[in-house]
Amino acid sequence: MSCVGVDIGGTNTKLVRIEDGEDPVARHEVATPREVEAYEHTLAGAVAAVARGGSPIEAVGFSVAGLVDERRTIVQAPNLPFFEGVDVAAPLRQRDPEPALVVENDVNAAIVGEQEWGAGRGCRDLCMLSLGTGVGGGVIVGGRLQRGSHGLAGELGHIVLDHDGPLCTCGLPGHVESYLSTAAIVERGRRALREAGDRGAILRRHVDREGEASPRVLAEAAREGCPVARDVLAASGRWLGLACANLTHTLQPDRILVGGGVSQAGELLLEPAREEYEARLMRAVRGSVPIVRAELGVDGAAIGAAVLARRILDERPA
Amino acid sequence: MSCVGVDIGGTNTKLVRIEDGEDPVARHEVATPREVEAYEHTLAGAVAAVARGGSPIEAVGFSVAGLVDERRTIVQAPNLPFFEGVDVAAPLRQRDPEPALVVENDVNAAIVGEQEWGAGRGCRDLCMLSLGTGVGGGVIVGGRLQRGSHGLAGELGHIVLDHDGPLCTCGLPGHVESYLSTAAIVERGRRALREAGDRGAILRRHVDREGEASPRVLAEAAREGCPVARDVLAASGRWLGLACANLTHTLQPDRILVGGGVSQAGELLLEPAREEYEARLMRAVRGSVPIVRAELGVDGAAIGAAVLARRILDERPA
């Protein structure tokens, strides 16, 4: 049995194929088409490419950077507006035999990937925050991905940390995303640099070359010893720690995973996050739930989508 | 089969007995003893009283206003300090035959009671906030009470609404409890009255008679038309709405239940809560999860404790 995961991202679409009981065996990547007709054509070719040399495809899972409701429709996708309202699995529905199909939000898919092959192995209860252009989330309880009553559980980027805080891209104030998206961190870096004087020399040199204080640039400057870059990542980490404390007071999962591009700053982000996190937990809860970096990186969502597809087959009555 | 629930509260201890397939059939109430030896004696008498006329007791569930960890030990109980570290089920362990025993946090018990006989009937995913001396919480996912990896999930009173807000009784800033406990509301009423002038005449008359602007006093004054009392309850409701938005973005349950003494203010609290709540939800999530008042009132925790006890029997291998 072979299952394919298709992760439709704002820039690239990644595919993986998994075979029964093996680690993911094939990967393929294409530019995400910008309109629906091109998408159908591209999808067919990409699925054929990733399927080559494997057993017949029995199930395909799609992962999308957007809100996917209980009817598996994409109801909101700021980075993929041409996919809103579209059934991304449609081009595969005419196949004979029709594969099992599922559509899922990308971080919901990613947390399932981590549960199966990554930092969440062996965990029954997991939360994940994915820090990138937006801040996505996923929740697993009792081993199962939680979709909520209408498919929209796990929107952990939209938890309030300050009722009166800066506006989120969704238009509401003080959400996790408004402190921890790439744009929020870039802006934090810009402000810090403006006030830094000579302390910011290393970071300034990087920013002059790269254009902005992206999380990657901040991490590079911090590793070269720049105290300002280090402070900006630490301040970001403290917001992350606060967000994680809310998750632990709500669900006390086995672990909280942190993924997404911003997480590449690694311990520069996670160490201050853990410190703030433990300080923000009630005494009796401290030390009970570790914050761990996700392991599968950019492939996580595609892998998770393939796993979700396989689970449909596993759960079908024999 | 008969099961008993024992809800050990800061002031009174309530017991209920449930018989197979029937509504709760017997109730009993005693003052909560202030030390452990008196407790053992009182418990024996109270269990005998509630058992009278029923079938033999096969299981007993205890509900406690405090944190109960994964070993069912009371690790923190500000209103029952003499019970910290105590196994409240111990006096029943020597019985022959020994009943099935379980110890649970009071709001965890209450949400199970609501799921079985109250405002949560038919729901698989539920959250509950109980507003009283403290603010407790409970979470049910997939039909099952969530205890978390170490027994301390559902501490929804300790979710942050403002990273820099007023101190909670647990010592940390900006928690739900610091805006919605009885004491927080009394203080909000006191401040409002100080600035109210003639607008506060009705509330002031009540407070002069009763001593403080308790939620009950505020509700009475509001019902008599006092705009200041109404404003104080509305402001409290808005904090409640914000807290509920965080729960829906995390879990999107079927419903959110609001219980505890403060909830007796009813629509004076819940209507502004719902308005703020919907405004605080992302567009795609609006209208999906109602906020509903709990139905079982002060008996909810005892009933839920009895249900939890019965579930142990139900899940035992035959």
Binned at pLDDT 50, 70 and 90, residue B2 comes out as very high
Cα(B272)–Cα(B34) distance, rounded to whole angstroms? 39
Binned at pLDDT 50, 70 and 90, residue A88 comes out as very high
| Mutation site, A124, A164, A170, A246, interface B, largest B CB count within 10 A | A246
Chain pair A-B, CB pairs under 8 angstroms: 137
Residue spans in chain B of domains classed CATH 3.30.420.40:
2-115+298-315, 122-294
In 3D, which of B63, B132, B135, B65 has the Cα closest to residue B103?
A: B63
- Return the HEC string of chain B: CEEEEEEECCCEEEEEEEECCCCCCEEEEEECCCCHHHHHHHHHHHHHHHHCCCCCEEEEEEEECCEECCCCCEEECCCCHHHCCCCCCHHHCCCCCCCEEEEEEHHHHHHHHHHHHCCCCCCCCEEEEEECCCEEEEEEECCEECCCCCCCCCCHHHCECECCCCECCCCCECECHHHHCHHHHHHHHHHHHHCCHHHHHHHHHHHHHHCCCCHHHHHHHHHCCCHHHHHHHHHHHHHHHHHHHHHHHHHCCCEEEEECHHHHHCHHHHHHHHHHHHHCCCHHHCCCCCEEECCCHHHHHHHHHHHHHHHHHHHCCC
B contacts of A75 (beta carbons < 8 Å): 284
> Nearest residue of A to residue B254 by CA position?
A149
pLDDT > 70: what percent of chain A? 99
pLDDT > 70: what percent of chain B? 99
As a whole number, mean pLDDT of residues A124-146 equals: 97
**pLDDT above 90: residue B77:** no
Architecture of the A123-294 domain: 2-Layer Sandwich (3.30)
Residue spans in chain A of domains classed CATH 3.30.420.40:
2-115+298-315, 123-294
Determine the distance in angstroms separating the CA of B123 from the nearest CA of chain A, rounded to an integer.
Answer: 10
B contacts of A72 (beta carbons < 8 Å): none
- Residue A78: per-residue pLDDT: 81
User: Is B251 within 8 Å of A153 when comparing Cβ atoms?
Assistant: yes
Q: Looking at domain A2-115+298-315, what is its CATH homologous superfamily?
A: ATPase, nucleotide binding domain (3.30.420.40)
Determine the distance in angstroms separating the CA of A124 from the nearest CA of chain B, rounded to an integer.
Answer: 9
Read off the pLDDT of residues A96-121 as tens digits, 9 standing for 90 and up.
888 999 999 999 999 999 999 999 99
Nearest neighbour of B282 by CB, restricted to A147, A158, A163: A158
In 3D, which of B193, B189, B211 has the Cα closest to residue B201?
A: B193
Task: Tell me, yes or no, if B163 comes closer than 8 A to chain A by beta carbon.
Answer: yes
Nearest neighbour of A155 by CB, restricted to B125, B152, B249: B249
Determine the distance in angstroms separating the CA of A162 from the nearest CA of chain B, rounded to an integer.
Answer: 4
**pLDDT above 80: residue B236:** yes
Write down the residue that tokens 């911003």 correspond to.
A262
Cα(B81)–Cα(B32) distance, rounded to whole angstroms? 12
- Residue B317: per-residue pLDDT: 79
- Sign (positive/negative) of CA torsion A253, A7, A307, B141? positive
Task: Tell me, yes or no, if B152 comes closer than 8 A to chain A by beta carbon.
Answer: yes
Q: Can you tell me the ipTM of this complex?
A: 0.95
Determine the distance in angstroms separating the CA of B254 from the nearest CA of chain A, rounded to an integer.
Answer: 5
Task: Tell me, yes or no, if B276 comes closer than 8 A to chain A by beta carbon.
Answer: no
pTM of the model: 0.95
For the record, the structure tokens of B185 come out as: 């509301």
Task: Tell me, yes or no, if A169 comes closer than 8 A to chain B by beta carbon.
Answer: no
As a whole number, mean pLDDT of residues B150-156 equals: 94
Determine the distance in angstroms separating the CA of B293 from the nearest CA of chain A, rounded to an integer.
Answer: 19
**pLDDT above 80: residue A21:** no
Determine the distance in angstroms separating the CA of A131 from the nearest CA of chain B, rounded to an integer.
Answer: 16
Report the range of poorest mean pLDDT among A33-37, A186-190, A286-290, B58-62.
A33-37
- Residue A72: per-residue pLDDT: 85
Determine the distance in angstroms separating the CA of A59 from the nearest CA of chain B, rounded to an integer.
Answer: 25
As a whole number, mean pLDDT of residues A30-41 equals: 91
- Residue A256: per-residue pLDDT: 98
A contacts of B161 (beta carbons < 8 Å): 160, 163
Write down the residue that tokens 């004491």 correspond to.
B183
- Residue B103: per-residue pLDDT: 96
Report the range of poorest mean pLDDT among A244-253, B66-75, B261-270.
B66-75
- Residue B230: per-residue pLDDT: 98
Phi, psi of A230 (to 5 degrees): -60, -45
User: Is B142 within 8 Å of A142 when comparing Cβ atoms?
Assistant: yes
- Residue B8: per-residue pLDDT: 95
User: Is A142 within 8 Å of B141 when comparing Cβ atoms?
Assistant: yes
> Nearest residue of A to residue B168 by CA position?
A282
Q: Any alpha helices (H) in chain A, and if so which ranges?
A: 36-51, 106-117, 177-180, 182-194, 201-210, 215-223, 227-251, 267-279, 300-315
User: Is B251 within 8 Å of A75 when comparing Cβ atoms?
Assistant: no
Binned at pLDDT 50, 70 and 90, residue B149 comes out as very high
**pLDDT above 90: residue B271:** yes
- Residue B95: per-residue pLDDT: 86
- Residue B76: per-residue pLDDT: 86
Partners of residue B3 on adjacent β-strands: B18, B59
B contacts of A250 (beta carbons < 8 Å): 137, 139, 153-156, 159, 247, 250-251
> Nearest residue of B to residue A159 by CA position?
B246
What letter would DSSP give residue A156? G
Read off the pLDDT of residues A179-213 as tens digits, 9 standing for 90 and up.
999 999 999 999 999 999 999 999 999 999 999 99
**pLDDT above 90: residue A95:** no
Tell me the residues of chain B between 245 and 264 that have a Cβ less than 8 Å away from chain A.
245-247, 249-254
Binned at pLDDT 50, 70 and 90, residue A1 comes out as confident
CB under 8 Å to A210, separation ≥6 — which residues? A217
Report the range of poorest mean pLDDT among A100-109, A138-147, B21-30.
B21-30
Report the range of poorest mean pLDDT among A11-20, A221-230, B70-79, B181-190.
B70-79
Tell me the residues of chain A between 32 and 71 that have a Cβ less than 8 Å away from chain B.
67, 69
A283 class by beta-carbon count within 10 Å (0-12 exposed, 13-18 middle, 19+ buried): exposed
**pLDDT above 90: residue B196:** yes
Task: Tell me, yes or no, if B73 comes closer than 8 A to chain A by beta carbon.
Answer: no
CATH 3.40.50.300 fits B122-294, yes or no: no
Tell me the residues of chain A between 181 and 200 that have a Cβ less than 8 Å away from chain B.
none
Tell me the residues of chain B between 277 and 316 that have a Cβ less than 8 Å away from chain A.
280, 282-285, 288-289
Task: Tell me, yes or no, if B235 comes closer than 8 A to chain A by beta carbon.
Answer: no
Determine the distance in angstroms separating the CA of B242 from the nearest CA of chain A, rounded to an integer.
Answer: 8
